A and B are shown apart, each in its own frame.
Chain A
Amino acid sequence: MSIQAGVGLSTDKDHIAAVQEAVVQAKKNIAGDKIDLAFVFSTREYAHTTVLKTISQLSGNAVIIGSSSLAIISRAGICRHGLMVILISLPNEAYFNAASIREISSKSFDAAGKELAEKLLYGSKGTRRDLSLIFCDRLIQDSSGIINGMRQQLGMSFPLIGASPSERLGHKNSHLYFNEEIIKDAACGMLFGGKLTFGVGVKHGWKPLGKPRHITKSRGNIVYEINEEPAAKLYEEYIGKSREELKKELKRISIFYPIGIHLPGEEEYLLRNVISIEDDGSLTLQGDVHVDSRIRLMVGTKESCLEATAQAMDDLKTAMKDHPAEFILVFDSLSRLMLLGRQADREIEIIREKAGSGVPIFGLYTYGEQAPLRSIDYLGKTYFHNQTITILGVGG
């Protein structure tokens, strides 16, 4: 038996009616009664523990993992008010383990990452481990730390695919679902192994503009100086606005013109959104950046974004070789939703067209994604990204 995914989506305003409808739909789309795992993606009005308890009951106590988001992605398109339940039945040869870590703010991000990885590895001795899927609370400012901690335990090039789901751009509230609980200040994840095939496509579509510069002073995710000048000067010069004016429009500007970090040996630039501009001229980025990094100002258009989505799907298919994807999971940045505006549905159309008929597609919008830059054969190092679309294909 190969891996199976049954998707159910409901927009019923009553969350109890919605969960029942979604589970019934999902069950219809899956053969047999064996349900191992349930992904639950919803918009925030469905974030109730009752929903999770009902899913647990109806799915025969399957492991539940998921999150709330501003919008959810299905094969049909983008849904801004709804609940999606994806029931997964794994082949007997496949292995998976799920775990969560809580109270992250009380420990270092590295330690939190290590703790999650240790929990995921528990009981997997002697099993081939292929990929880990993680969801981080939006409250966690620097998810890079968690990735670093996990990599230390799982291996430096072990593929991690993750998301920091978000209910709104810049809004720090989000609801992570783990089994029958809604968890905060937490992260949860899964480790897959055994006879499963994975393919990942990660792309953003932003292109470098202007001359290269160097980070000359930084700490963690704060950049103090670029080319030995206050970091904010980069934006002041390019946008042609004062620091105070930039602060007012920062989120918008940051989406259209993020900072791109050049990674030696990698094709894609690693994008970083600017979260805030401080009075001393420093920039707080969404993700860490190191001194001496070569950076560029990046520019994106709707067309380049959509081309990147098509490329990500092509990469995924290449990575999966001859194995067809049984389902496709999408983590799409909220920034892309904002940039694409009325064309956002086109992005889902591209995935649908490339995936072929009947392949279940599901996902959510995120504020930060984790994935290896080089998607083929999972040999690339996992990075914390901004503004990317991460597409994971899973086959039997």
Chain B
Amino acid sequence: MDFSGFIVIAAVISTVILTMALAVKMQRAKELQTTADGLQKSLNEMDEQAKLVVRTDIALNKTQEELDKKITGLYALQRISRAISTTMEEKEIFKRIGSEHLDEIGFERAAAFMLYEEEDKFIPELSLGYGDEEMENLSTFINAHGDFFRRIIGNKETFSSISATATAGINKENLSRAFGINAFVVCPILPKEGNQGLLIVGTENPDTLVTEGDEELITILANQLGQALENARLFEKTWRAQQDLEKKVDERTRELSKVLEEVKDSSKRKSDFISSVSHELRTPLTSIKGYASILLAGKLGAIPKEVKERLEKINRHSDELVHMVNDLLDIARIEAGRVTMKQEPQNLINIVGQATDLLSMQAKEKDINLISDIPSDANSVYVDRSQIERVFINLIANALKFTPAKGRISIRAHKKGSFVQVDINDTGCGIPKEAQDKIFEEFYRVDNAINQEAKGTGLGLSLVKHIIEAHKGKIFVESAPGRGSTFSFTLPQPK
């Protein structure tokens, strides 16, 4: 083989090798292209999946945002409700709503106007996020379109930038401009009584849209405001009524105090008069009685029987008159506070015994059973003995007077707190109900057959009452006609 043959063979071999290498490379390139195509396909598929993820994510975020907004709104409403329900002052209600509450419900500006019918004017009560000048302009706008806003109140209609339609020449854009907000909700404030109004809430943010949920939220807020106003007005009304009542009570009390003073004054004058008259009466009475006694004793010579009888009458009547004058004097002194009760620890059994001994003859004459029952725990009393003896003598004597023969009078006592209650019960004719309140008054005498026959001054029970009250005790009666009477009184015990 020559050199040229060798070259041809080499060239052929090289061509074969190169062709094979090229084929391998092409094969590899093809494989790489396939892989790249596969990767590109996967990438495109993943990109498509990413698009699905984004779209799902948007929907989820939107739902989450709405949910968040609702939850935040409800929390804010709860806080506002708490803030406005803790005041009973109408003006304070609006002041309790702050910018922080507004933020929480997702708005920046709020205004409230109340319609004052008397002035035929909407007056601003709440301004949040508005400057003074802006608020003045808004107020002018609302009043210039008063009929439109009255209709909103009248129709109890909530409207917003998504639901507003052109009404009476005011369209959504005009309202937005006037309110100084891009999106808004207007809701009437409707307390059942008194002035009603409007709540305007909104945002300047052009990206914030009002939703139906916002309308609901603002409606709830306006209702809460209405309810709070209603409560405040009711409270105001009740408070005013109470104030009027208190004023009237004060006036009546003053009038009564004045009358009481007059009564006291008149009573004092009466006591003074009685005291003075009694004193004046006692001197001539003493003389009359003295002269009658001298004549009766025959110191001035014998007197005829008829004269003696008349003198004895003079003497007896003089005694009665002296007794009466003494009682009157005692009442007057006690009333005037001139008698001091000399209170000391005393034995009630002894006092009752003393009184019953004194009156036992009269009881015997009428065959009246006089019983006394004083238990040991009620025996000790802290009293002026001589005065309390007068009380017992008066009451037992009265009982004897009004109890028919063969009757019964009981004197019982029992402990009642730091006092002893004494009950003097008889089987007498009893006292009619209408007379029971009056029997302790001076000169009052129950209108009955016995009183018409028996003599009496009508001062005994009054004196008894004065003595008991001077001991800080109480006296009262229980009685019914034909069923006897029980006079009860309380006496203090030693401390």
* Chain A residues at the B interface, C-beta cutoff of 8 Å: 13, 45, 80-81, 168-171, 209-211, 237-240, 251-253, 256-257, 297, 299, 341-342
What are some 18 contacts across the A-B interface (CB < 8 A)?
A13-B98, A80-B100, A81-B99, A81-B100, A81-B103, A169-B205, A169-B207, A209-B53, A210-B46, A210-B47, A237-B51, A240-B51, A240-B55, A256-B61, A257-B54, A299-B53, A341-B64, A342-B68
* Interchain CB contact under 8 A, B207 and A210: no
Instruction: Label chain B's interface by main secondary structure.
Output: helix
* Interchain CB contact under 8 A, B54 and A299: yes
Among B56-112, those with CB < 8 Å from A are 57-58, 61, 64-65, 68, 71-72, 98-100, 103
* Interchain CB contact under 8 A, B50 and A210: yes
Instruction: Label chain A's interface by main secondary structure.
Output: mixed
Query: Given A170-B206, A253-B58, A342-B68, does the pair A238, B50 have CB atoms closer than 8 Å?
Result: yes
Q: Which residues of A contact B386 (CB under 8 A)?
A: none
Q: Which residues of A contact B98 (CB under 8 A)?
A: 13, 81
Decide yes or no whether B44 CB sits under 8 A from chain A. Answer: yes
* Interchain CB contact under 8 A, A211 and B207: no
Among B10-60, those with CB < 8 Å from A are 43-44, 46-47, 50-51, 53-55, 57-58
The residue on A at minimum CB distance from B108 is A168
Q: Which residues of A contact B57 (CB under 8 A)?
A: 256, 299
Q: Which residues of A contact B58 (CB under 8 A)?
A: 239, 253, 256
In the complex, besides A13-B98, A211-B50, A239-B58, 15 extra interface pairs with C-beta distance below 8 angstroms are: A169-B205, A170-B207, A210-B46, A210-B47, A210-B51, A210-B54, A211-B46, A238-B55, A240-B55, A256-B61, A257-B54, A297-B50, A297-B54, A299-B57, A341-B68
Q: Which residues of A contact B44 (CB under 8 A)?
A: 211
Query: Given A170-B205, A239-B55, A342-B72, does the pair A209, B50 have CB atoms closer than 8 Å?
Result: yes
Distance in angstroms from A217 CB to nearest chain B CB is 22
The residue on A at minimum CB distance from B43 is A211
Contact pick for A341, options B53, B65, B204, CB 8 Å: B65
The residue on A at minimum CB distance from B69 is A341
The residue on B at minimum CB distance from A256 is B61
Q: Which residues of B contact A239 (CB under 8 A)?
A: 54-55, 58
Task: Report the bound CA distance from A170 to B61 in whole Å.
Answer: 20
Q: Which residues of B contact A237 (CB under 8 A)?
A: 51
* Interchain CB contact under 8 A, B54 and A209: yes
Pick from B54, B58, B206 the residue with the most CB of A within 10 Å: B54
Distance in angstroms from B183 CB to nearest chain A CB is 13
Q: Which residues of A contact B61 (CB under 8 A)?
A: 256
Among B183-223, those with CB < 8 Å from A are 204-207
Task: Report the bound CA distance from A237 to B53 in whole Å.
Answer: 12
Distance in angstroms from B180 CB to nearest chain A CB is 14
Q: Which residues of A contact B100 (CB under 8 A)?
A: 80-81
Task: Report the bound CA distance from A297 to B103 in whole Å.
Answer: 32
Give the A-B contact count at a CB cut-off of 8 A. 59
Q: Which residues of A contact B72 (CB under 8 A)?
A: 342
Task: Report the bound CA distance from A45 to B98 in whole Å.
Answer: 13
* Interchain CB contact under 8 A, A251 and B207: yes
Task: Report the bound CA distance from A240 to B47 in whole Å.
Answer: 13
Task: Report the bound CA distance from A8 to B353 in whole Å.
Answer: 90
Task: Report the bound CA distance from A237 to B52 in whole Å.
Answer: 10
The residue on A at minimum CB distance from B104 is A80
The residue on A at minimum CB distance from B207 is A251
Distance in angstroms from A298 CB to nearest chain B CB is 11
Among B127-144, those with CB < 8 Å from A are none
What are the nearest 7 A-B pairs in CB distance? A210-B50, A211-B47, A341-B68, A251-B207, A238-B54, A210-B47, A209-B50
Task: Report the bound CA distance from A299 to B206 in whole Å.
Answer: 24
The residue on B at minimum CB distance from A82 is B100
The residue on A at minimum CB distance from B100 is A81
Q: Which residues of A contact B43 (CB under 8 A)?
A: 211
Distance in angstroms from B292 CB to nearest chain A CB is 98
Task: Report the bound CA distance from A257 to B72 in whole Å.
Answer: 25
Query: Given A238-B50, A240-B51, does the pair A171, B68 have CB atoms closer than 8 Å?
Result: no
Task: Report the bound CA distance from A80 to B129 in whole Å.
Answer: 13
Task: Report the bound CA distance from A140 to B47 in whole Å.
Answer: 36
Among B417-464, those with CB < 8 Å from A are none
Q: Which residues of B contact A342 (CB under 8 A)?
A: 68, 71-72
Q: Which residues of B contact A171 (CB under 8 A)?
A: 204-205
The residue on A at minimum CB distance from B44 is A211
Distance in angstroms from A387 CB to nearest chain B CB is 15
Task: Report the bound CA distance from A366 to B399 in whole Å.
Answer: 103
Pick from A210, A257, A297 the residue with the most CB of B within 10 Å: A210
The residue on B at minimum CB distance from A80 is B103
Q: Which residues of A contact B71 (CB under 8 A)?
A: 342
Q: Which residues of A contact B64 (CB under 8 A)?
A: 341
Distance in angstroms from B84 CB to nearest chain A CB is 17
Q: Which residues of A contact B54 (CB under 8 A)?
A: 209-210, 238-239, 257, 297, 299
Task: Report the bound CA distance from A256 to B55 in whole Å.
Answer: 11
Contact pick for A238, options B51, B68, B99, B207, CB 8 Å: B51
Distance in angstroms from B436 CB to nearest chain A CB is 70
The residue on B at minimum CB distance from A79 is B100
Distance in angstroms from B64 CB to nearest chain A CB is 8
Task: Report the bound CA distance from A237 to B46 in whole Å.
Answer: 14
Q: Which residues of A contact B47 (CB under 8 A)?
A: 210-211
Task: Report the bound CA distance from A240 to B55 in whole Å.
Answer: 7
Distance in angstroms from A281 CB to nearest chain B CB is 18
Task: Report the bound CA distance from A45 to B65 in whole Å.
Answer: 27
The residue on A at minimum CB distance from B60 is A301
Task: Report the bound CA distance from A251 to B257 in whole Å.
Answer: 79
Task: Report the bound CA distance from A171 to B53 in whole Å.
Answer: 30
Q: Which residues of A contact B53 (CB under 8 A)?
A: 209, 299
Q: Which residues of B contact A238 (CB under 8 A)?
A: 50-51, 54-55
Distance in angstroms from B320 CB to nearest chain A CB is 89
Q: Which residues of A contact B50 (CB under 8 A)?
A: 209-211, 238, 297
Task: Report the bound CA distance from A280 to B10 in whole Å.
Answer: 65
Q: Which residues of B contact A13 (CB under 8 A)?
A: 98
The residue on A at minimum CB distance from B205 is A168
Task: Report the bound CA distance from A268 to B46 in whole Å.
Answer: 22
Q: Which residues of A contact B51 (CB under 8 A)?
A: 210, 237-238, 240
Q: Which residues of B contact A170 (CB under 8 A)?
A: 205-207
* Interchain CB contact under 8 A, B207 and A252: yes
The residue on A at minimum CB distance from B57 is A299
Q: Which residues of A contact B65 (CB under 8 A)?
A: 341
Task: Report the bound CA distance from A252 to B62 in whole Å.
Answer: 10
Q: Which residues of A contact B46 (CB under 8 A)?
A: 210-211
The residue on A at minimum CB distance from B52 is A240
Task: Report the bound CA distance from A342 to B65 in whole Å.
Answer: 9
Distance in angstroms from A20 CB to nearest chain B CB is 20
Task: Report the bound CA distance from A240 to B50 in whole Å.
Answer: 12
Task: Report the bound CA distance from A13 to B99 in whole Å.
Answer: 10
Distance in angstroms from B218 CB to nearest chain A CB is 20
The residue on B at minimum CB distance from A71 is B103
Distance in angstroms from B208 CB to nearest chain A CB is 10
Q: Which residues of B contact A81 (CB under 8 A)?
A: 98-100, 103
Q: Which residues of A contact B68 (CB under 8 A)?
A: 341-342
Task: Report the bound CA distance from A92 to B308 in whole Å.
Answer: 133
Among B152-208, those with CB < 8 Å from A are 204-207
Task: Report the bound CA distance from A96 to B441 in whole Å.
Answer: 101
The residue on A at minimum CB distance from B58 is A239
Task: Report the bound CA distance from A169 to B57 in whole Å.
Answer: 22
Q: Which residues of B contact A297 (CB under 8 A)?
A: 50, 54
Distance in angstroms from A47 CB to nearest chain B CB is 13
Distance in angstroms from A325 CB to nearest chain B CB is 30
The residue on B at minimum CB distance from A213 is B47
Q: Which residues of B contact A45 (CB under 8 A)?
A: 99
Task: Report the bound CA distance from A35 to B139 in whole Å.
Answer: 47
Pick from A45, A169, A251, A342 the residue with the most CB of B within 10 Å: A342
Distance in angstroms from B63 CB to nearest chain A CB is 12
Task: Report the bound CA distance from A264 to B122 in whole Å.
Answer: 65
